[in-house]
Chains A and B, each alone.
Chain A
Amino acid sequence: MTCIIIDDEETSRVILDQLCSEIEDLDLIEAFDNAIEAIKFLNKNDIDLIFLDIHMPGFSGFDFIQTLKNPPKIVLTTSDKEFALEAFEYESVIDYLVKPISRDRLFKAVQKAKSFQSTKAVGGTSESSDNSTTSSKTLYINIDRTLIKIETDTINLIEADGDYINIKTQEKDYRVHSTLRKITEKLPDDPFFQVHRSYIINLSRIIDIQDNTILIAKSVVPISRTKRPELMRRLNLL
């Protein structure tokens, strides 16, 4: 599990750094003294857990959480107890540590984060995510007892095939025992759209549309008559 620390106080960063280094399977990737630099980092990197200080000048921990579209799990750290209730209003916040942080308390928080992660990884038979978040950037599929990670933006289209679905990505095609309805729950609404009872497509991968068919990569996909008006609405037509 990977983590970062965001805290403007160096003493706190040093303590968290040391305690994180004592935990097996927890890799501290970076420690930031301000939230802005952390946002830039998170735009380019996937992280499992953030230790986030609430009190920071200019840009508080709560401000930071609100800027994240798909936040990882967050453990808040602060010298105050009075923010605990507000903290848990955020779905991504899994724990709240009052400074000075004790080793045992931190370990429990990390354990909690790990349990969330493992639930997410093995929660489904074909797709991994079991929570209500439908806009995940990544999807895990189960093939021969191996969980394979797919970045959803690399998916060109998904095709129903009996009791299976074929997930066609830019690099590779995967055949998974699942249904279009199940995978729809795991995909972000944008840019995916079900154009036919047997096809979900990534709208950003369309090459052209002719009559009632769409060309995506090397695949020709039919457009259902009932889906066509909504498809047209979602396209940026000149």
Chain B
Amino acid sequence: MKPNLNYIKQLANGNATFENRILGVLKRELPEEIDGFRNSINSLDYALAAMLVHKIKHKVSLLGMEDGYKLTADFEDELREGAKSLQDDFEGLLKIMTTFLNSINTETE
């Protein structure tokens, strides 16, 4: 599961300002969603956790992680049914995404 910027670069179509804007928002929004996800798991609010995992799922696909997308979709379904057996795998995915985004410099920083 290795993230890439293929989709974002294709979308930006050479527009560096737009590319930086997307990456800036991703870098700010993802940690907020991760915090919300962990808090909802800790408070056993799996419905809210599923909602936040759903939002993170879009970011997984933005970073071109096809395997990660499937894992996230499965975890979202599982949470809606009140289970969380895929939580460790999902946490691993979050770590990969966070490390990748932190390694990217954007002009907005």
A residues touching B (Cβ–Cβ < 8 Å)?
A: 8-12, 14-15, 18-19, 55, 57, 79-80, 99-100, 102-103
B71 contacts partner chain A, Cβ-Cβ < 8 Å: no
| Docked pose: A222 CA to B11 CA in angstroms | 64
The contact string, 1 if C-beta is below 8 Å from chain A, for chain B 16-54, is: 001001100110110000000000000000001001001
| Docked pose: A102 CA to B7 CA in angstroms | 9
Instruction: Kindly identify which residue among B11, B15, B18, B54 contacts A79, using a CB–CB cutoff of 8 Å.
Output: B54
Can you list 9 A-B contacts with CB-CB less than 8 angstroms, sorted by A residue number?
A12-B58, A14-B21, A15-B11, A18-B11, A18-B15, A18-B21, A79-B58, A100-B11, A102-B11
| Docked pose: A35 CA to B90 CA in angstroms | 29
Within 8 A of A (CB), among B37-83: 48, 51, 54-55, 57-59, 61-62
Residues of A within 8 A of B15 (CB): 18
Contact in complex: A99, B29 (CB < 8 Å):
no
Contact in complex: B29, A10 (CB < 8 Å):
yes
| Docked pose: A102 CA to B13 CA in angstroms | 12
Per the CB 8 Å criterion, the residue count for chain B at the interface is 20
From A9, A11, A18, name the one whose CB has the most chain B CB atoms within 10 angstroms. A11
Closest to A56 in B: B51
Given known contacts A57-B48, A100-B7, A103-B13, A14 and B22 CB-to-CB distance under 8 angstroms: yes
Contact in complex: A11, B26 (CB < 8 Å):
yes
From B25, B48, B55, B57, name the one whose CB has the most chain A CB atoms within 10 angstroms. B55
Instruction: Kindly identify which residue among A8, A14, A19 contacts B55, using a CB–CB cutoff of 8 Å.
Output: A8
| Docked pose: A57 CA to B52 CA in angstroms | 9
Residues of B within 8 A of A18 (CB): 11, 15, 18, 21
Contact in complex: B11, A9 (CB < 8 Å):
no
Residues of A within 8 A of B29 (CB): 9-11
Residues of A within 8 A of B54 (CB): 55, 79-80
Residues of B within 8 A of A10 (CB): 25, 28-29
Contact in complex: B48, A9 (CB < 8 Å):
no
Given known contacts A9-B29, A55-B51, A100 and B13 CB-to-CB distance under 8 angstroms: no
From A55, A80, A103, name the one whose CB has the most chain B CB atoms within 10 angstroms. A55
Closest to B69 in A: A79
Contact in complex: B51, A57 (CB < 8 Å):
yes
Contact in complex: A79, B61 (CB < 8 Å):
yes
Contact in complex: B62, A100 (CB < 8 Å):
yes
Contact in complex: A11, B61 (CB < 8 Å):
no
**Besides A11-B26, A55-B51, A100-B7, 12 new A-B residue pairs in contact (Cβ under 8 A), listed by A number:** A9-B55, A9-B58, A10-B25, A10-B29, A11-B25, A11-B29, A15-B22, A18-B11, A18-B18, A18-B21, A57-B48, A100-B61
Closest to B63 in A: A100
Closest to A103 in B: B11
Residues of A within 8 A of B59 (CB): 11
CB distance from B45 to the nearest CB of A (A): 11
